[in-house]
Structure 1
Amino acid sequence: MERIRVTAGIIINNDKVLITRRAPNENFAGGWEFPGGKIEADETPEECLARELKEELNITVSVEGFCTEVPYDYDDISIDLIAYYCTIVDGEIQMSVHDKYKWVKIEDLLNYDLLPADVPIAKRVVKEKGS
């Protein structure tokens, strides 16, 4: 089975974190996730994350630091999901591969139907950044 490397952005504003929901026509439709995407051959995870957040949400971010890495095997794909804390430095959120976004309280993060690979990241964020 193919193994790909993907990134996820943990964008925190005060006591809330940004999550996005996959649109109906996308893989894993309806699942909530931390936004990000697939690392291309010629880029670092940090470069990938900045590019993907610009493409998917029309925001420019500063990648602040590593959060965690989660290996996960879905039915048809295996991923290494690499999460980084980010700060929005420019832009207004406009979605392309998502149909909703929410700023949720960090302590409420695990109440959402997160994609399975995103759950360990959410647990880390609650532990590290929750009240």
Structure 2
Amino acid sequence: MKMIEVIAAIIERDGKILLAQRPAQSDQAGLWEFAGGKVELDESQQQALVRELNEELGIEATVGEYVASHQREVSGRIIHLHAWHVPDFHGTLQAHEHQALVWCSPEEALQYPLAPADIPLLEAFMALRAARAAD
């Protein structure tokens, strides 16, 4: 079975995170997700994240700490999804590949119809934030 490495950005600003709505003509149309995409053969996860966020959102991202990974089978392929925290970026957000963008708290994000693969990543991010707050 083919494995595809995919990265996702949990972009945070002022305690809110960015969700992006998948376009109408895509797989899982209308669901909300973290921006990101496939890792190319010659790049690291962090390099892929910077490239994808530039392509999808028109921003220059600062990649922070690794959050979590999640694996799921989709259409006979294994998708290995890796989430990274993006605590800062430069530029103006533009939805090049999504229907809409929204800032919300991580708790509010759970109220959105999220892409199933992103839910465990959001939960891991919330657990990390809670652990940081307790320190």
TM-score of the aligned structures, taking structure 2 as reference length: 0.90
Could you tell me which residue of structure 1 aligns to residue 121 of structure 2? Answer: 121
- The structure whose residues are more often strand, as a share, is 1
Paired with 1:6 and 1:129, the residues of 2 have a C-alpha distance of 23
CA contact (8 A) 1:6 1:37 kept: yes
Where do 4+ consecutive residues of structure 1 move more than 6 Å? none
The residue identity in structure 2 corresponding to 1:7 is I
Are residue 13 (structure 1) and residue 10 (structure 2) matched? no
Note the residue ranges of structure 2 that are not aligned, 5 or more in a row.
Answer: none
Paired with 1:67 and 1:41, the residues of 2 have a C-alpha distance of 22
SS of match in other structure, 2:125: helix
Could you tell me which residue of structure 2 aligns to residue 94 of structure 1? Answer: 94
Are residue 81 (structure 1) and residue 88 (structure 2) matched? no
- List per-residue Cα deviations over 1:19-77 (Å, max 9, x = no partner): 10101122221111110000000000000000000000001101011000101112343
Paired with 1:127 and 1:116, the residues of 2 have a C-alpha distance of 18
The residue identity in structure 2 corresponding to 1:113 is P
RMSD of Structure 2 on Structure 1 (CA): 1.4
Stretch of structure 1 that moved more, 81-90 or 30-39:
81-90
SS of match in other structure, 2:123: helix
Please show how residues 43-58 of structure 1 align to structure 2 within 5 Å: 43-58=43-58
Stretch of structure 1 that moved more, 36-45 or 106-115:
106-115
Q: CA deviation at 1:2?
A: 2.3
- Work out the number of aligned pairs and report it: 131
Stretch of structure 1 that moved more, 48-57 or 104-113:
104-113
Note the residue ranges of structure 1 that are not aligned, 5 or more in a row.
Answer: none
Could you tell me which residue of structure 2 aligns to residue 40 of structure 1? Answer: 40
Q: CA deviation at 1:109?
A: 1.8
The residue identity in structure 1 corresponding to 2:64 is E
Q: CA deviation at 1:106?
A: 1.7
- % identical aligned pairs: 34
SS of match in other structure, 2:65: strand
SS of match in other structure, 2:30: coil
The residue identity in structure 2 corresponding to 1:56 is E
